Amino acid sequence: MQFENTLSFARQLDATDPLKNFRNKFIIPEVNSRQQVYFLGNSLGLQPKSVNDYIQRIMQDWANLGVESFFHAPEPWLNYHDHLIRPLSKIVGALPHEVVVMNQLTVNLHLMLVSFYRPSAKRYKIICEAKAFPSDQYTFETHVKHHRLDPAHAIIEVNPRKGEHTLRTEDILSVIQQHSGSAALVLLSGINYYTGQLFDMGAITKAAQSAGVVVGFDLAHAAGNVDLQLHEWGVDFACWCSYKYLNSGPGAIGGVFIHEKNHDKDLPRFAGWWGYDKATRFKMEKGFTAMPGAEGWQLSTPALFLYAAHRASLEIFEEAGWTNIRAKQKVLTDYLWFLLEEVNTTSSKKIIEFITPQHFAERGCQVSMLMLERGKEIYEGLMKQGIIVDWREPNVIRLAPVPLYNSFEEVWRFADVLKQLIA
């Protein structure tokens, strides 16, 4: 498409956008009755208007039936999970029985490491990206220490080359090959939270498993953002949160993928009663018998209010269609990059360095701008103009136009304000 840097062109794109009406399904933040430009779906997605209705249904069940709602509500709570896993499995490229909705992201990472990080005298290393999100770093550190190993030797971080901000796939594969005899686990982000780089998860999985290494991914910034084929790639496990691109609210319930090839293995796990065989769960017998599939990793009675909020968002994804969402995302973010490049090339001197790969196959919605000067001033100027973006120390502005609720006019407005602030 031949883009133009004009407001009329942006409005033309909005007018012909097949998903333009989905913006009306979300509550857009306002200040003084003026809608803000919300570009922080990479941090916390906006609230679907339907969330309140779904939560009120649970409230009404509770009021009318109390605990009997698990069995006799119009939509029995005992089976509420079934409303979530089918739309979610499409988003992450999994079979429904490979997906479970439970806990939060870091809790799930810890549970997965119980099952999949089984260090031995020979294989004990965890390979991860340098500057992974802190929760991931702390998870690795504490599990390694739990096994009485030294994190300095057991955790192998893959770093960008000198003078570069992102990782090259060949460097990741080289590190896996270098430690092929001593690595127990490869666990990277699907998308790095800081740079917005999308990793080649298929290639990484193939290389690691060829070396006999278990593979997992933290998909916090990937689920609901980019195409995932977890089953096809053969990934052993993955975890994600649902409060970013999946729009399910602050502290929303998390999700886990466990490939079906691992379901019947005698893997160690921490167990709880909600993971017990569903048909006999309420007999309350001793001796843990897991539900088949990923649901057997559940622990506690689920948080129905979090289920309800998650369902509201997932049904919007279902209605919009994942293929349509990704098609708009490509045009929306391509237009953003077109405008940003023009901002950078027309300014008197370069003050922005983009640390997110520009090629669509290597990114999702997020763009991370390394500010070479006046970064905090420009960030604060954007916020004062009603453009909500993110500041990451020491000098990075992050933004992420989301196809379900952001418009082309908002992208144009952001670039226009940015250009004025630079000037």
198: which DSSP letter? B
Identify the domain boundary among 319, 343, 365.
319
Mean pLDDT across 216-237: 98
* 47 domain residue, yes or no: no
Mean pLDDT across 48-56: 98
Residues with Cβ within 8 Å of 194's Cβ and at least 6 positions away in sequence, in order, are 131, 355, 368, 392, 396, 398
The parent domain of residue 237 ranges over 55-319
Q: Please give the pLDDT value at position 350.
A: 87
* 45 domain residue, yes or no: no
Verify that 186 and 143 share a domain, yes or no: yes
Which of 160, 241, 224, 147 shows the shortest CA–CA distance to 194?
160
Q: Please give the pLDDT value at position 410.
A: 98
Do 58 and 305 touch, CB atoms closer than 8 A?
yes
* 44 domain residue, yes or no: no
* 48 domain residue, yes or no: no
Average pLDDT of the chain, as a whole number: 96
Q: Considering its fold, how many domains does the chain have in total? A: 2
Residues with Cβ within 8 Å of 118's Cβ and at least 6 positions away in sequence, in order, are 184, 268
Verify that 276 and 365 share a domain, yes or no: no
Verify that 273 and 399 share a domain, yes or no: no
Say if residue 346's pLDDT is above 90: no
Mean pLDDT across 19-47: 97
* Tens of pLDDT, residues 117-152: 999 999 999 999 999 999 999 999 999 999 999 999
Verify that 374 and 407 share a domain, yes or no: yes
Rg from Cα positions in the chain: 22
Verify that 228 and 366 share a domain, yes or no: no
Q: Please give the pLDDT value at position 344.
A: 87
Verify that 156 and 189 share a domain, yes or no: yes
Mean pLDDT across 227-249: 98
* Tens of pLDDT, residues 265-300: 999 999 999 999 999 998 999 999 999 999 999 999
pTM (2 decimals)?
0.95
CATH number of the domain bearing residue 80: 3.40.640.10
Mean pLDDT across 173-189: 97
Verify that 165 and 297 share a domain, yes or no: yes
Mean pLDDT across 411-419: 97
- State the alpha helices, DSSP H only, in 347-407: 375-384
Strands (DSSP E) contained in 117-219 are 125-129, 155-158, 183-189, 214-218
Which strand (E) or helix (H) includes residue 392? strand 390-392
Verify that 275 and 137 share a domain, yes or no: yes
